[in-house]
A = this chain, B = another copy of it.
Amino acid sequence: MSVFTSVSRDELTVWLKQFAVGELLDFQGISAGIENTNYFVDTQHGRYVLTLFEKLTADELPYYINLMAHLAEHGIPCPGPVASLEGQRLLELNGKPACLVSRLNGKSVEQTTVAHCAAVGEMLASIHLAGKSYPAHMDNPRGPKWWKETSPDVLSHMDDADAAMLREELRYQSLFRFQDLPRGVIHADLFRDNALFDGERLSGVIDFYFACNDAWLYDVAITVNDWCMDASGVLDRERMLALLRAYHAVRPLSPIERGAWPVMLRAGALRFWMSRLYDLHFPRPGEQTHAKDPGHFQRILAGHIAAENELKRIWV
């Protein structure tokens, strides 16, 4: 159940009069999503998704909402915010910041194929290119600075072996200069549930509420860590190559990026291992807990480390 703030038909009918979208025909709460309240909204002019923001504030939201508008206008199939007659993309409904965005066709896939991975690689590179002209900036709130600040709290809840692994990975990552990598707007959460497929075609990318400015390659690593794994967290080389090749065809990877790839794969795994540990041990007050298994990303990280060590043994 993810409708935290309920909206009545009468409330929605009145609220929609601020837009040129025609009369309300139908609406329905959406059960997916744990951060916001979402409704499907059908009007005379089209099909939309209404989002009421439960945690993000009206100060934080313009970066995300204007980014979606920017990307949608530049050919990325992502939710396009509808502007009100007063020209506002972000309004208020039942005391929450709220926006109305276009609804995309398609549904997410669970089992990914080489073709899915190629489509996602192409799309991610297109997002990176289209984001180059986006003027706003937001530092990554889950980047190396956050890892460092959060690690003492998280480490205090871990057993010795896991804590040693985390400490070692933080040390390893601290040696690497992220700043040297080409950077720009990244989605930062392009997991399978944030991509929609209409048959074979990647018809939509959704949920830009972790988007920020960071190394593009880090975004690629996050994506590979979800799309190119088997269920036990073992990397599938064929799908990874398909994703990287399709990405590279749109935005060619530089030599420094090729060299940094093993580090980024580990950084992408570390980020979700840490945030899942944090969410597990420090649930937000009043949170209906949907804490996901941190062990999944610990295993992925261990796999990347083992693969890297194996390569080193071959080379040395």
Contact = CB atoms under 8 A, between A and B. Distances in A.
Given A44-B119, A122-B22, A129 B82 contact: no
The number of times this chain is found in the oligomer is: 2
A45 interface: yes
Contacts of A81: 73
A45 B75 contact: yes
The 10 closest A-B pairs by CB, nearest first: A21-B75, A20-B130, A20-B126, A20-B75, A75-B82, A73-B83, A19-B75, A74-B83, A20-B74, A87-B133
Nearest to A81: B73
Contacts of A141: none
Interface string A103-135: 000000000000000010011001101101100
A8 to B, nearest CB: 21
A224 B312 CA distance: 77
A46 interface: yes
Contacts of A21: 75, 126
A306 interface: no
Contacts of A84: 74
A44 B82 contact: no
Interface in A36-85: 44-46, 69, 73-77, 80-85
A27 to B, nearest CB: 15
Interface string A1-43: 0000000000000000001111100000000000000000000
